[in-house]
Structure 1
Amino acid sequence: MALNVSADVADHLAGRAALIANDRGMRRENASAKARSTKEVEADRILREIRTKEAETIWREDHPDIKHPLPGMEFLTGKSIILKTRVFEILSKMPKGALLHAHLDAMVNTRFLLELSLKYPFIHVRVLEPLTADNLETNLPVFRALPASEFTEHSSLTDASYPVGAWVPLANARRGFAPELGGEEGFDKWFIDALTINPTQAYDTHNTVEKIWLKFVSTFATSTGLIRVEPIWRAYIKEFFLSSIADGISYIEVRINFLFKFMFGADGQENIPHRDWVRIFGEVVQDVKEEMKKQGREHVFLGAKIIYSTIKSLTPEGLDWYTEDCIALKKEFPDLIIGFDLVGPENTLKPIIYYLEPLLHFRERQKEEGVDIPFIFHAGETLGDGTEADLNLYDAILLGTKRIGHGYSLIKHPKLVDICRERGIAVEVCPISNEILRLTSSMLMHPLPALLNNGVPVALCSDDPAVFGNMGLTFDFFQVFVASEVNGLSTLGALARDSIEFSMLSPEEKNKLLTVFEKQWEEFVDYVLTYTE
């Protein structure tokens, strides 16, 4: 008897489609009750077609010095190709919602920081060993604001007469940089290289988690002497906000490291306490909002708030000072301080459980003082499975963390994945940061798709873009979009909406921002529709 093959094929195809739909049913963009408009469906088709075409053309072209280019490849190597794509051009216009995981120390383009620092005569620089062509990469500059009584007249860091370790005015150091080391351009390169990670470091000389973290941490140690200076702090924060707005970011929750108890003032004295750091931050928020209002664009920036952070190298007793400081700042600036975190390399510093007693005490002190400062913990930024860094995920969740920073190893723990989905604990995923810091070799190997397919809420974040050269969020959205055939325009929209929904804004503020976002999203969809093949 002849088999009805066509019917069997039809049954298989129907079952296949149903199984795929069921498998993807938990994804946030599919679980939403809101149906996509016909315009968005068409815009999604157009963007997918452009992605496919560019995968077959731009990414297959011969690119000198780039071996085996492909969408989602190592960011620092592939960045020059990314900038040539229409997908990047389109996504640069996309409204991004909120930025929820960002460290203030690394949020402004390094060249801007250089140009800003050169404006102030009190900024000085020194080196602790003679500069040579062979040690430019490792002989890092040390910056500091000096009082007028300690200004020097040294004209160069590289002249044979320079007394090693002496302070040189920054502008003099730049003008007097030896011609054989590149002159002023050589100084600029040395400055920028000290504050960034380059492809050779990320993928060759520092190609393990431990090695690249040494370079990563050195960039913060170097920039601290510039950023934590009152006049620079103010201008730096403003540039951070303006550049974020330019990339379609409407709201920011930024981690500020309060480890150092004072900042330098314009007088060169280390006498600016934490309350003034926060006060200035709030003033800049208002300044930028007023500036946007005068431009008739008040809707593009809802504001910014602070996640109080300190380093996981403290003793438990030492942490008590910072938690009390955080409570005091929350009471004085209730609308600015919205969370608490412990930061630093998880694989080498102390785990969350090491601080269990002071963290529990912190929670009780909040009740006594009538404040609410949620934990928003870094956890699972590791390749480990069962290591202390990996187990941070359990402690973060048990302590009631509102979100998880990075959560790279979360997917290894099915029960924790379920908890995050069911309780609405969003993961702040930083794709480019994870790749450059050697947790993954490319976006194609990143666990993000597994989180999305399991319905875990995710907010895409940039982490430390000044170090990585990926200012804003467009590059992160690009890498996520091109590395998956499943991800489409609606995926990107869901990620942006989740960044708003899982922010620490009040319900009223969220509704306000979501209303603005939906209008911006409709305009963006219309923009995508202008692209025709």
Structure 2
Amino acid sequence: MSSTESDLAEYQERRATLIRDDRSYRRDIQAPLSPAEIKAEKIVRDIRALEASTIWKQEHASVPHPFPGMEFLTGRNLILQTKLFKILSKMPKGALLHAHLDATVNSEFLLKLALQQPALHVKVPQTITLSNVDSILPEFRALPLDQYSNALSVTETSYEPGTWVSIQNARAAFDPSLGGPTGFDKWVIGALMINPTEAYNTHSTIAKIWEKFTSTFIVSAGLIRFAPIFPEYIREFFKTSIEDGIMYIEARINFLYKTMIGEDGEDNIPHREWLVTFDRVLNEVQENMKRQGREGEFIGARIIYTTIRFITPEELEWYLEDCIALKKEFPHLIAGFDLVGNENELIPLIDYIQPLLKFRARQKEEGVDIPFIFHAGETLGDGSAADMNVYDAILLGTKRIGHGYSVVKHPKIMDLCRERGIALEVCPISNEILRLCSSMPMHPLPILLNNGVPVALSSDDPSVFGNMGLTFDFFQVLVSSEVSGLSTLRQFARDSLEFSTLNSEEKQHAIAIWEHQWESFIEGVVST
């Protein structure tokens, strides 16, 4: 070997060593791949490369600048055309650890449920016209029988602003110039979702897109928090999750409203009954899966009790006590506690420190364990109150961090997450649509992975964003990195179970089931 060849060989060896050392913290390289996984890995990488040079390079009339990991709402239809998406849709995803129940069911399905309820009514602040149909939000509510309305339309000039109209009448009499009943559906669904124009043009700042985002929950609340709809809504959430390969769920439920409207139209259903309903539907779904011989596909679901960051510290104490009472009665359902809402504008964790510390002491007194699972660092801020939430989340002993987008700015926090096993619930599509990044290649997820921070990919609010299940989020991550591969997705799925609130025995059982599912999935990939 010549000296030049020797130098080149030595350089190549040093280069490989440096790359290996640089990536040594990554969790996805720590478990060796089986021969079948090696084959599947190559197949997936080859498909990704081929589609990057074909589908994502071609001109598309509706997609002016296609590229892998592009803005989700613009590229969604292209994603559905890829072979890679079809493969990932069959992948066992493990657990969904970050999803807000109020935004987990397809908006069209929710509207379909609503139209079956005679008690549901709608009102608007002014008559709906062609010029305002995109800006007027519907308000829904179930009314007692003696308050049913005879009003027929929200689009007639004779409509008196603020008058309740039955949802069926409002739909049937929706002005033909606005699309008639189909136009009504489009109007309601548009109020429940964020569309590409809103995400990338008219609502292009974080403040504006959060205003639209928040409005979708205001609209949906009157539909979901109605006793006849609530169980069917939960059932559909479980059903569609199972179809996407999700075997376990920890759903965040907003308990800000202290009661739900009952079938009689009275606002009198307390939180306890919400959990009774959740538990009943969960048991029914599991029994149905068992009868089909598919019990391993869905091992259960729990609730992360949440309320909103705009309540006062004094008001928070009521919710913390309520959470303890529910945990004592439903120990198998309550998984943790969180405060949610726009961190950039609402109250930071430090302002709640007194009741939160008291909450830990009260748990000891009551003999319960309710871990904090805080949203923190869902912000572009650097040293802002929202960014500083990550410090308080850590000091309060959070089990996981919701989003944690700004964690990459804090090397010590990343070290602590790695050392203490604090997983980040990363919601890539949510972060992009809510303007934290412009596309997936801009997302800081690779920094977390390269620093060994455990990650559970999550969908956050899929009914609002259109990323139902987890396949879309897995897809966007996979196509946006040359380093990440099928082994990375495997680690996400496994870690979602490892860092859940399941106890040790439950985790071992769940992971064993998932590993069997993973082997079957790999066999399917290899045989394609």
3-state DSSP class of the match of 1:230?
A: coil
Letter in 2 for 1:187: F
Alignment of 1:400-415 (within 5 A): 400-415=397-412
1:383 is displaced (CA, Å) by 0.1
**Aligned counterpart, 1:427:** 424
Partners of 1:151 and 1:346 lie apart in 2 by 40
In the alignment, is residue 14 of structure 1 matched against residue 28 of structure 2? no
Alignment of 1:272-421 (within 5 A): 272-421=269-418
Instruction: State which of 481, 488, 493 in structure 2 corresponds to 1:491.
Output: 488
Letter in 2 for 1:12: Y
In the alignment, is residue 465 of structure 1 matched against residue 475 of structure 2? no
1:3 is displaced (CA, Å) by 7.5
3-state DSSP class of the match of 1:134?
A: coil
Alignment of 1:128-277 (within 5 A): 128-277=125-274
Partners of 2:250 and 2:64 lie apart in 1 by 38
1:160 is displaced (CA, Å) by 2.1
TM-score when normalising by structure 2: 0.99
Partners of 1:85 and 1:66 lie apart in 2 by 15
Partners of 2:526 and 2:353 lie apart in 1 by 53
1:62 is displaced (CA, Å) by 1.1
1:21 is displaced (CA, Å) by 1.2
In the alignment, is residue 481 of structure 1 matched against residue 478 of structure 2? yes
1:93 is displaced (CA, Å) by 0.2
Partners of 1:305 and 1:453 lie apart in 2 by 31
Partners of 2:42 and 2:233 lie apart in 1 by 40
1:31 is displaced (CA, Å) by 2.3
Letter in 2 for 1:17: A
In the alignment, is residue 441 of structure 1 matched against residue 441 of structure 2? no
Segment drifting more, 63-72 vs 373-382: 63-72
In the alignment, is residue 45 of structure 1 matched against residue 45 of structure 2? no
Q: Per-residue displacement from partner, 1:100-121 (whole Å, max 9, x unpaired)?
A: 0000000000000000111110
How many matched pairs?
Answer: 528
1:161 is displaced (CA, Å) by 2.3
Partners of 2:371 and 2:280 lie apart in 1 by 24
1:338 is displaced (CA, Å) by 1.2
3-state DSSP class of the match of 1:9?
A: helix
**Aligned counterpart, 2:512:** 515
> Which runs of at least 4 in structure 1 moved beyond 2 Å after TM superposition?
none
3-state DSSP class of the match of 2:156?
A: coil
Segment drifting more, 292-301 vs 94-103: 292-301
**Aligned counterpart, 1:68:** 65
Partners of 2:65 and 2:309 lie apart in 1 by 39
Partners of 1:65 and 1:509 lie apart in 2 by 47
Partners of 1:190 and 1:342 lie apart in 2 by 31
Partners of 2:421 and 2:430 lie apart in 1 by 24
Partners of 1:222 and 1:186 lie apart in 2 by 17
1:65 is displaced (CA, Å) by 2.9
**Aligned counterpart, 1:114:** 111
Letter in 2 for 1:58: I
1:73 is displaced (CA, Å) by 0.3
Partners of 1:456 and 1:255 lie apart in 2 by 23
Segment drifting more, 492-501 vs 148-157: 148-157
Query: Is the 2:99–2:459 Cα contact (8 Å) retained in structure 1?
Result: yes
3-state DSSP class of the match of 2:405?
A: coil
**Aligned counterpart, 2:24:** 25
Segment drifting more, 128-137 vs 204-213: 128-137
**Aligned counterpart, 2:82:** 85
Instruction: State which of 99, 102, 113 in structure 1 corresponds to 2:99.
Output: 102
Letter in 2 for 1:23: D
Partners of 2:283 and 2:426 lie apart in 1 by 29
Partners of 1:31 and 1:405 lie apart in 2 by 25
Letter in 2 for 1:49: D
3-state DSSP class of the match of 2:343?
A: coil
1:232 is displaced (CA, Å) by 0.5
1:129 is displaced (CA, Å) by 1.0
In the alignment, is residue 506 of structure 1 matched against residue 503 of structure 2? yes
RMSD: 0.9
3-state DSSP class of the match of 2:229?
A: helix
3-state DSSP class of the match of 1:505?
A: coil
TM-score when normalising by structure 1: 0.98
Partners of 2:430 and 2:524 lie apart in 1 by 29
Partners of 2:276 and 2:150 lie apart in 1 by 35
Partners of 1:527 and 1:438 lie apart in 2 by 37
**Aligned counterpart, 2:56:** 59
Q: Per-residue displacement from partner, 1:52-101 (whole Å, max 9, x unpaired)?
A: 00000011111003221000000000001100000000000000000000
Partners of 2:485 and 2:285 lie apart in 1 by 33
Segment drifting more, 324-333 vs 19-28: 19-28
Partners of 2:189 and 2:7 lie apart in 1 by 63
Partners of 2:56 and 2:243 lie apart in 1 by 27
Partners of 1:308 and 1:137 lie apart in 2 by 33
Letter in 2 for 1:343: V
3-state DSSP class of the match of 1:362?
A: helix
